[in-house]
Amino acid sequence: MKRLIDILRDCHELSPDGYRALLTMSDPDDIQYLMEQAREVAQQQFGRGIYLRGLVELSNVCRNDCLYCGIRRSNRHVTRYTLTREEVLNSCDQGYKIGFRTFVLQGGEWGEERSEWIADLILDIRQGWPDCAITLSLGEHPRDTYALWREAGADRYLLRHETHNPRLYSLLHPHEMTIQHRLQCLDWLKELGYQVGAGIMVGSPFQTIKSIVEDINYLIGFKPHMIGIGPFIPQHDTPFANFPAGQVDMTARLYAIMRLALPTALIPSTTAMATLSPDGRLRGILTGANVVMPNLSPQENRSNYALYDNKASFGSESAQGIMKLEEELSSIGYHIDWSRGDHPQQ
């Protein structure tokens, strides 16, 4: 097994059987070795600095109906909100003063009639904080819309592919959504010069080891600048309310595999990791993740951005908790890297 891990570290690729072996191995020594190698590669690339991204949850209004997501259109139990321009700029202002140099605007998917409003917002942020990176995570849109936002000043775009397997994709999404279109969007974003993030949920209903292997292969082929991976967590008002949550261990194992496969990728230790386990965030970092995304949204809106149950947004999950985050990181020998944190090859 260790030989297999060495091959992945040195050649950045394995056969499907190789990935399957790494995903299913159970010897604690082997698992430990995988984690150590991933940690070492992350440290070679980024030292012991962890980049921060300030997450601004723009709106929970969504035209989509993804079966796993708490802000899906058919959930009538969620109070819908959209931040005003002033609220977004206020969040950026607070974040900048703390030291954030990346803002992530994330939200439900809107119709194209509001794309101009978003473009104006991007222009405002670009003007107000010219030294900051602007990341968008606003779902699927026509190429023209992505181009408009890029011209307005957006630098990065997060769009998890969720799963590369067409059958599984159709079990997780309404029938009008297709993996082909998702991948098309990711290709457009890359062509337009965004730093692009793809990724998956781990332990989503109906997921198999085989489908995760397909995801690893897709990610290695696509070479995203950023890789967003987090455990699935049920949300009580969705059709998946009664499915079990994904595992922190398996998610950490995937961080390790992706770190060895794509050494320069920016990999956040996601909020869902912190939600499932008090040390989830740190475990992600110790297995090769190098980014944390604290919440900069106004306090009063956070509970309504309910992608899943008990979503962490306080403690070190918030900008106010940055001191605590610094302490946690230093307890494992890491520190915050306050720079913009672009992809090394950008």
Binding residues (CB under 6 A) for ligand SAH: these are 68-69, 106, 108-109, 137-139, 159-160, 162, 201, 230, 232-233, 235, 272, 307-308
> Do 8 and 14 meet the contact criterion of CB atoms below 8 Å apart?
yes
Which tokens is 194 given?
Answer: 């965004």
Which residue, 173 or 259, has its beta carbon nearer to ligand SAH?
A: 173
Which residue, 16 or 244, has its beta carbon nearer to ligand SAH?
A: 244
| Closest separation in Å from C-beta 33 to ligand SAH | 28
| Closest separation in Å from C-beta 215 to ligand SAH | 12
Q: How many CB atoms lie within 10 A of CB 244?
A: 11
Rounded-to-5 percentages of helix, strand, coil across the chain: 45, 15, 40
Which residue, 233 or 322, has its beta carbon nearer to ligand SAH?
A: 233
In sequence order, which ranges of the chain are alpha helices (DSSP H)?
Answer: 2-11, 16-24, 28-46, 85-98, 115-128, 143-152, 166-172, 179-191, 209-222, 248-261, 271-276, 280-286, 299-302, 322-331
| Closest separation in Å from C-beta 4 to ligand SAH | 28
| Closest separation in Å from C-beta 108 to ligand SAH | 5
Q: For residues 309 and 73, give the distance between their C-alpha atoms in angstroms, rounded to a whole number.
A: 17
> Do 25 and 272 meet the contact criterion of CB atoms below 8 Å apart?
no
Distance in Å from the first CA to the final CA of the chain: 34
Which residue, 140 or 342, has its beta carbon nearer to ligand SAH?
A: 140
Which tokens is 133 given?
Answer: 């990176």
| Closest separation in Å from C-beta 249 to ligand SAH | 16
Q: For residues 273 and 301, give the distance between their C-alpha atoms in angstroms, rounded to a whole number.
A: 21
Which tokens is 271 given?
Answer: 């909020």
Which residue, 128 or 166, has its beta carbon nearer to ligand SAH?
A: 166
| Closest separation in Å from C-beta 223 to ligand SAH | 19
Which residue, 46 or 68, has its beta carbon nearer to ligand SAH?
A: 68
